[in-house]
Chains A and B, each alone.
Chain A
Amino acid sequence: MKNPPIVGTSVPRMEGRAKVTGEARYVDDMVLPGMLYGATVRSRIPRAKIKKFTFGPGIDWNEFVIVSPKDIPGKNCIALIEDDQPCLADGVANHPEEPLLLLAHPDRHLLPKAVESVSVEYEPLPAIFDMKESESLSQIIWGADNVFKTYLIEKGDVDSVWQNADHIIEAEYTTGAQEQLYIENNGMIAAFDPQQGLTVWGSLQCPYYVHKALIKLFALSADRVRVVQMETGGAFGGKEEYPSMIAAHAALLAMKSGKPVKIIYDRTEDMAATTKRHPSRTRHRTAVSKDGRILAGEIDFTIDGGAYKTLSPVVLSRGAIHAGGAYYWPSVRIRAKAVATNAPPHGAFRGFGAPQSLFALERHMDRIAQVVGLSPVEIRRRNFLKPGQTTTTGQTVNEEIDLGKLLDRALELSDYHAKKEQFAQENQLSKHKKGMGIAAFLHGAGFTGSGERFLGSVVGVEACDDGSLRILVSSTEFGQGTNTVLCQIVAEALGLKYEDVSIAQPDTHEVPNSGPTVASRTVMVVGKLVQSAAVGIKKTLTASGMLSDSYTPVEFRAACRNYVAKHGKFRSLAQYEQPGDIVWDEEKYRGSAYAAFAWAVYIAEVTADLATYSVSVDDFVALQEIGKVLHPVLAKGQITGGVAQGIGFALYEKVVWENGRMQNGQMTNYIMPTSADLPPIRVYFEELGNIHGAFGAKGIGELPMDGPAPAIVNALEDALNVSFNSIPLLPEDIFVALGESAAPEIVAPTTRGRE
């Protein structure tokens, strides 16, 4: 009997009812008996030797639990890629807001004053605050040369092309830091029991990252550390790594006090101290034929990693691999570098380096179009990757993607040509200048290269006493729809009802390590594994004779119930194995960077007001190919949310830095788009499918972050005839740029005919 499909339909969000009724429990909603509240004493200056702490008058310090580095039982580090970031600075602080000491008290109202009353004697050291200073080596603050990581991607013969190129087009592009601004601030609760060990509950993306960090910090065995994810109020990459730090702090206070400890950051602390999107600088030098074909390119991509290595090498990798975008480069050399500065470490944020390098590329494509004398549409059409061609890392495009067709559809949906013509007319007489801008791009799903093989993710599906199924993964829900879509996959794979499947709360004592919830990997990679584990349950039941090959959901439940009653615990596990067609050379950075790419064309319509210099986005078309859409409402919500963040990245969200510290760490002066600021975000899908994902799905979460900024800035250039190379672009930046545009452009494209 054939059941109606579940995949491809918009079933109710698994935890949706709890969220709309206010019953969903986030970490700050949890209270344990006898719980203390924790707070962090942080460095006020960018780089210094820490000489001495003085506990000021007017505070009964005996009431406080105080933790310093000497209270750390294991290694003083937050284990991630390299163990260079201390849990508490010991002797030297390398960035403002670096944690120095921890305090806890039963009355949370007393903590702010106590933190203020700890005075720190510093011996300041010279500090550096931007990529240029870091590269100049005026101060060495990390390793031998301030460089966390470099990559070199080479394809073809770049050096031989320049001499005969019709055009050589050079420019530099920069992007600023961006705060994830999840509405729920970071928070953790920790409890320590000498017998059972350590337990932490918190707002986080990656339970096993926290687990790994705590094992090393406390020198405990894996089974004596337990990490539980509470409902998480947004993350966007911002809760990938820093939760390990907060968990470590709460746990140190809990161990020392013998009581549970809660640490909840307030908004300013969260914004100033935790990670943000890496600022970036991309330099393009591109050889182009007179008919607008890219012949070769040199791309230098540099990101500011802040004071410690943390995730910068991985962000750099994704940014570098995406730097060539959705175009065919016969020859290309991409040099990528992550450098150290005395700012809090920059980290994961939706897109993970790709929004930075794709902003540069998609602006550069418009610049190339201008120089060659083609339209932004035509320059893209002539250079799109086609099936059978290879990407910058030499990966052959195996999918039947037709980017020209995708572009045509986006042009039609946005009424691009008619509007271009109309605006060109109207702009002549109006103070409101309108323009249209395009971005075409791709986004790789899953970990890069051999990353998934190294992770070797494991998932489980288990049958419960009542015959229902429960999914066991460490993949977390923080709004994207993980819970819902994984349950859909299992129900579909077994012909069950959506209501027959549930998902366990991520708890390292309960669920296997299915890897971190990052890199647009959950639906594609973890989903496929969950599908396979689910099929394992069915196979066991049929092999044992408890279920026939054709069954109803009711019969399936009964068979599960009987199996559990007879044999006890009934689990099916599945582990990731790299498909044979995915081959990656980590040394040369060549091969299949991603198991699948999602493809997109976004078109923005903007108005710049020459009286106020404000920019409004009036219409936004987001068209993408993401394999099979498993849940239309959730998929659309991912795109609209990502586009909104992309609009913020381009036009609203500016981190103001002073000596390595964010100066505008409040929602009043760091501005994200409100409901009144956004255009209609019109979302359309193409569905080609994908052999590597569950039911043909690809990754989707990060893709929509890549396109909005370049599409909007391209539209602004169309409106104003001024070239902008940096984001964010606030009204004051546009005012300055328009003032300067009377004079020649600062970074002019250099063009050279064949002589």
Chain B
Amino acid sequence: MSQSSQARAKSEISFTVNEKLETVHVYAMERLLDVLRRQLGLRGTKEGCGEGECGSCSVLIDGMLVNSCLIPALQANGANIVTIEGLAADGRLQLLQQSFLDCGGAQCGICTPGMILASLHLLEKKPHPTLEEIREGLSGNLCRCTGYMQIFEAVADAARRGAST
């Protein structure tokens, strides 16, 4: 780091990510996205637009779906965060991930982590969503590859298989 960046003050914060307690030092306006990716090496969270439009950087904070590019890391002090890395346990895919794989919900894959977290969030609120609810529920997450149809199928498939339970 250069002198100019060292001169800026850092604060110590702690939060839980994927059930693990982490303590990090962050600059005042440092984005949660950068702290997750660069400091904690959780690179499954992606940056698409940097302005909260595309949803690629979606993570769950205390059960809420947020764009981590818009959240100053300081705000996450004490929070419980879930990223894509927190889903598959012991090498076994979560149902929703399996449905995305089976139904063709992931093409280039860059929106996929955010899309899966948005889907998870939707299914937690509505275990058996209608197509309209899926369309609305995912409208904050952009996908340029699929035209969304196979993502809808994946969410419906996961709901049928009981992903929210």
A residues with CB within 8 A of B? 10, 12-13, 15-26, 28-29, 60, 63, 105-107, 109-110, 180-185, 231-236, 266-267, 478-481, 633-634, 636-637, 640-645, 666-668, 672, 674-676, 678, 680-681, 683
Q: For the complex, is B50 an interface residue (Cβ under 8 Å from A)?
A: yes
**B residues neighboring A (CB under 8 Å):** 1-5, 37, 42-51, 53-54, 56, 83-85, 87-88, 93, 97-98, 100-104, 106-113, 116, 134-136, 138-152
- Name the B residues within 8 Å of A21 (CB-CB): 44, 84-85, 87-88, 93, 97
Contact yes or no, B147 A236, CB < 8 A: no
CA A235 to CA B109, docked complex, whole Å: 12
A479 CA to B141 CA, complexed, in Å: 17
Could you tell me the distance between the alpha carbons of A181 and B144 in the complex, rounded to whole angstroms?
7
SS of B interface (majority): loop
Say yes or no: A644 contacts B147, CB within 8 Å.
yes
Known: A21-B85, A109-B5, A236-B144. A676 touches B104 (CB 8 A): no
Query: Please, which residues of chain A bring their CB within 8 A of the CB of B37?
Result: 29
Q: List 17 A-B contacts (CB under 8 A).
A: A17-B101, A20-B98, A21-B88, A22-B44, A28-B47, A106-B1, A107-B5, A182-B110, A233-B108, A235-B108, A236-B144, A266-B50, A479-B109, A481-B107, A636-B149, A640-B146, A678-B149
Count of A-B contacts judged by CB separation below 8 Å: 180
Q: Which residue of B lies closest to A682 (CB)?
A: B149
Residues of B within 8 A of A180 (CB): 144
- B2, B49, B97, B135: which contacts A675 (Cβ < 8 A)? B135
* A641-B109 in contact (CB<8A): no
How far is A18 from B93 in the complex, measured between Cα atoms in Å? Answer: 11
Closest to B102 in A: A12
On whether the beta carbons of B93 and A675 are closer than 8 Å, the reply is no
Shortest Cβ-Cβ A-B pairs, 6 listed: A22-B44, A233-B110, A479-B108, A19-B109, A644-B147, A640-B147
A residues in contact with B152, CB < 8 Å: 675
With known contacts A107-B2, A640-B149, A675-B135, A234–B106 Cβ distance under 8 A: no
**Which B residues are in CB contact (< 8 Å) with A25?**
43
B104 and A675 contact, CB distance less than 8 A: no
Instruction: Please name all residues of chain B whose beta carbon is closer than 8 Å to the beta carbon of A19 when the two chains form the complex.
Output: 106, 109, 112
Bound-state CA distance A110–B149 (Å) is: 42
Which chain B residue lies CB-closest to A643?
B147
Q: A184, B113: Cβ atoms under 8 Å?
A: no
B49, B97, B111: the one contacting A667 at CB < 8 Å is B49
**Interchain CA distance A638-B111 in the complex, whole Å:** 16
**B101 touches which of A13, A60, A634 (Cβ 8 Å):** A13
Nearest A residue to B137, CB-CB? A675
Q: Verify A183–B85 contact, CB threshold 8 A.
A: no
Please give, as numbers and ranges, the residues of chain B lying within 8 Å of A22 by CB-CB distance.
42-45, 83-85, 112-113
Tell me which of B48, B134, B139 contacts A183 (CB under 8 A): B48
Residues of B within 8 Å of A644, CB to CB, are: 144, 146-148
Q: How far is the CB of B10 from chain A (nearest CB, A)?
A: 13
**Which residues from B are CB-within-8-Å of A182?**
108, 110, 144
CB pair B53 A668 closer than 8 Å: yes
Complex alpha-carbon distance, A683 and B146, angstroms: 13
Identify B100's interface contact among A20, A181, A231, A481, CB under 8 A: A20
